[in-house]
Amino acid sequence: MTEVVPTVTGTVMTITLNGPDRMNSLDPGTLDGLNAALDAAERDPSLTSLVITGTGRAFCVGMDIGFLGDCFADPPGVFVPFIRRYHEFLDRLEAFPLPSVAAVNGLARAGGFELLLACDFVLAADEARVGDTHSDFGIVPGAGASQRAPRKLGDQ
Per the prediction, the chain carries an average pLDDT of 87
**pLDDT top residue among 26 and 135:** 26
- Strand residues in 36-77 grouped as ranges (E): 49-54, 58-60
pLDDT at 68: 79
Q: Give the Cα separation of 76 and 66 in Å (integer).
A: 17
Contact between 47 and 131 (Cβ < 8 Å): no
Q: Give the Cα separation of 121 and 64 in Å (integer).
A: 25
Q: In the predicted model, what is the mean pLDDT of residues 128-136?
A: 65
Asked whether the predicted pLDDT for residue 107 surpasses 70, the reply is: yes
Q: CB burial class (10 A; 0-12, 13-18, 19+) of residue 15?
A: buried
In this predicted model, what pLDDT tens digit does every residue of 133-148 receive, in sequence order?
555 555 655 655 555 5
In this predicted model, what pLDDT tens digit does every residue of 69-84 receive, in sequence order?
887 888 889 888 998 9
Q: In the predicted model, what is the mean pLDDT of residues 38-63?
A: 96
Count of CB atoms situated within 10 Å of the CB of 38: 19
pLDDT at 133: 57
- The vertex-139 CA angle with 136 and 143, nearest 5°, equals 115
Phi, psi of 128 (to 5 degrees): -65, 140
Helix 111-118 to helix 145-153 angle (10° resolution) is: 50
